[in-house]
Amino acid sequence: MKFIINIIIALLFLPLIDYFNYKAINSAFNNILSNNVFAKLIFLASAVIVFLLIAIALLRMGNTQRAFTPNLYYPIVTLIILLYIPKINIELFYFLEKIALFIFKKHLFLNYIGIGISAILFLFILHGITINKTNFRLRKQKIASSKIPKSFNGFKIIQISDLHIGSFHNNIDAIKKIVDITNAEKPDLILFTGDMISNYAEEMDEFMPELKKISSKYGKYAILGNHDYSDYVKWKTKENKQENLLKLKQKTADIGFVLLNNENKNIVINNDTIQLIGLENWGLPPFPQHGKLTTAIRGLDENKFTILMSHDPSHWRAEVLNFPFIDLTLSGHTHAMQFGIEIGNWQFSPVALKYKEWGGLYKSKKQSLYVNRGAGFIGFQGRVGIRPEITLFVFE
Contact of 374 with 124, CB cutoff 8 Å = no
Same domain, residue pair 85 and 164: no
Q: What is the DSSP letter of 229?
A: G
- Do residue 193 and residue 248 come from a single domain? yes
Tell me: do 81 and 164 sit in the same domain. Answer: no
Residue 66: is its pLDDT beyond 60? no
Tell whether 188 and 324 lie within a shared domain. Answer: yes
Q: What is the rounded average pLDDT for all residues in the chain?
A: 92
227: domain CATH number?
A: 3.60.21.10
- Domain of residue 208: give its range: 136-395
- The rounded distance, in Å, linking the Cα atoms of 156 and 274 is 13
Q: Is there a single domain that holds both residue 258 and residue 370?
A: yes
Q: Which residue has the higher pLDDT, 51 or 141?
A: 141
120 with 71, same domain?
Answer: yes
Q: Does residue 100 register a pLDDT over 80?
A: yes
Q: Which of 71-80, 301-310, 379-388 has the lowest mean pLDDT?
A: 71-80
Q: Which of 78, 107, 130 is the last residue of a domain?
A: 130
Q: Within 13 Å, how many C-alpha atoms sit on residue 203's CB side? A: 26
- Residue by residue, DSSP assigns 31-67 as THHHH-HHHHHHHHHHHHHHHHHHHHHHHHHHHSSSS
Same structural domain, 86 and 228: no
Q: What is the pLDDT of residues 140-187, one digit of tens each?
A: 999 999 999 999 999 999 999 999 999 998 899 999 999 999 999 999
The helix, strand and coil proportions of the chain, stated in percent and rounded to the nearest 5, come to 50, 20, 35
Q: Is 237 helix (H, G, I), strand (E, B) or coil?
A: coil
- Based on the structure, what is the number of domains in the chain? 2
The verdict on 108 and 140 lying in the same domain is no
**C-alpha dihedral sign at 322, 265, 355, 225:** negative
Averaged pLDDT, 282-297: 96
Domain endpoint, select from 69, 98, 130: 130
With left for phi above 0 and alpha for psi between -120 and 50, is residue 354 left, alpha or beta?
alpha
Q: Are residues 141 and 198 in the same domain?
A: yes
| Statement: residue 243 has pLDDT above 80 | yes
Residue spans of alpha helices (H) in the chain = 2-28, 32-35, 37-63, 70-104, 110-130, 172-184, 208-211, 238-254, 293-296, 314-318
Is the same domain home to 176 and 61? no
What is the per-residue pLDDT for 76? Answer: 82
Residue 58, pLDDT > 90, answer no
Same domain, 345 and 286: yes
Of 130, 159, 185, the residue at which a domain comes to its end is: 130
Regarding whether 346 and 217 lie in a shared domain, the answer is yes
Q: Is 371 a residue whose pLDDT tops 70?
A: yes
Q: What percent of the chain has pLDDT over 70?
A: 93
